[in-house]
Amino acid sequence: SPGQKEQECYCHQVFIDKDDDLIVPTVQQLVEHSFHSNHLKLAEVPSCFIIQMPRFGKNYKMFEKIIPSLELDVTDLLCDSPRECCLCGELATQECEECFKDKLFSKTGLKQYCDMCWRQVHYHSSRRSHGSMKLDCPVEFARTGKAMVPREKMQLFAVLCIETSHYVSFIKYGPEDHQWMFFDSMSDRHATLPEQLLCKHYLCSNCIEDIQSKGAGQGVVDCPLCSSMFPLDPSQVLTPGVPSPDKLEEAAAFPGPAAGPPSCGDDATEGKVCDPLLGKPSPDLAEKRCQEHNEALEFYCEDDGECVCGPCTTTGNHKSHSLMSFEKAAAQIKDKVLNSVKSLLQTQQGYHFKYQDLQKSEEELKMQVGRLQGNLSKKFMAWRSSLEEDEENVLRMIDEEANRLTSKSSSCSKTLNDKMDLIRQIDDAAQDLTKCDRLEFLE
């Protein structure tokens, strides 16, 4: 709890705020959001974990549907436990609560990083204010020097739905993923038994009524599990009753009871399944025959990547090859595909973060360029105004100087003209004197 107080309990009531992004959540998402909102951690991996979903009445539902998680990964919910970086997979040293609510990240999974990924993710300006919470790695694990952090997962055992005194449940009765059985507390009172469609999938009576009402206009029923379509006539569509105990594997599935994988092909009544190893539809993998020996396929050749029969392993081309059972081969191939997908998702997430950062950097660059252009325009406008004012002042000074010089020149010219007139008068008087006799000249 937030006060670092340990409570011994095996039940957790999910309390979360309304989140419009969680439309059809999984149990994994709800548990992580609830632990994050209430600042809770697990002191240890519980031997049994009862999780109560958000309550709702008949008139209000927080979620229309909740997808049960067949595995609940509690690694990131443990306190003082080694955790891996959500980006690179190395040992995490810091956790960020703000990144858990960041819409750029995935909608599930707590966000913890190693030191390098923390710096890269929080280098962006929008995440620089995020606060970090230091993670304590056990000394024993740090001494081992292991790079991979072990994942702590819990298997789903049962799903219980209660409405007043009526409850239905799905209970796991075996180790295989498809080994589930259905129980209804009021099956002896009214027709609530699962009903089987022509595609071999089982649905409860409420779901049957729902899909019948939706397809009433077109006269067909659409299976919500495999999207196969059938006539609306219940006698042609439904096979009431729960399968016998020796056929539980045929009818069990989860989160919805089903007979097997979705149908392939156009004819839904053929009941074909898609063979993941052969890559094409077949009625049943056990009935598939070897084309060379006409024997039933029994093993998977790891060297050639194909299914083989018994004679192929003794006298055929696969005699010295590495062989394994279909279950083991499917598990290995599934693990390889999941690891590849996980690596691709991590790479995609990294590129997505870089792309988002580039977009925001581009927007910031555009804003900076706009501000720079505005500042330059203002400066050039001020410079232009100053130059125009200086031009007016210079032209005015030139005009004033020209007027002063012109006025001075005119004054000098007038004085010079007056003196020239005086000289001319003196000259005329001197000429007149030269024409007189000497006595008059001397006088």
Residues 49, 149 share a domain: yes
Give me the number of domains the chain comprises.
3
Residues 193, 129 share a domain: no
Share of the chain above pLDDT 90, in %: 2
The reply to whether 233 falls in a domain is: yes
The reply to whether 271 falls in a domain is: no
CA distance 323 to 328: 10
The reply to whether 112 falls in a domain is: yes
CA distances (Å), origin 91, targets 73, 94, 147, 349: 17, 10, 7, 18
Pair 388, 381: CB distance under 8 Å: no
Average pLDDT rounded to a whole number, residues 58-73:
80
Residues 145, 194 share a domain: no
Task: Tell me the per-residue pLDDT of 99-141, one tens digit each, with 9 for 90 and over.
Answer: 877 766 655 577 888 888 888 888 787 787 887 778 877 666 6
* CA-closest candidate to residue 65, choices 200, 177, 186, 206: 206
Pair 75, 151: CB distance under 8 Å: yes
Q: Which helix (H) or strand (E) holds 328?
A: helix 326-434
Residues 220, 91 share a domain: no
Pair 181, 170: CB distance under 8 Å: yes
The reply to whether 56 falls in a domain is: yes
Q: For residue 216, what are the domain limits?
A: 188-240
Pair 228, 198: CB distance under 8 Å: yes
What is this structure's pTM? 0.43
> What's the DSSP call for residue 309?
E
CA distance 325 to 181: 26
Residues 140, 32 share a domain: yes
pLDDT of residue 267: 37
- For residue 371 the two structure tokens come to 């501000």
| DSSP letter string, 214-263 | HTTTTTEEE-TTT--EEES-HHHH-EESPPPGGGHHHH--SSS-BSSSPP
Task: Tell me the per-residue pLDDT of 196-252, one tens digit each, with 9 for 90 and over.
Answer: 777 777 776 777 777 888 877 777 778 877 777 777 665 544 444 444 333 333 333
Residues 299, 221 share a domain: no
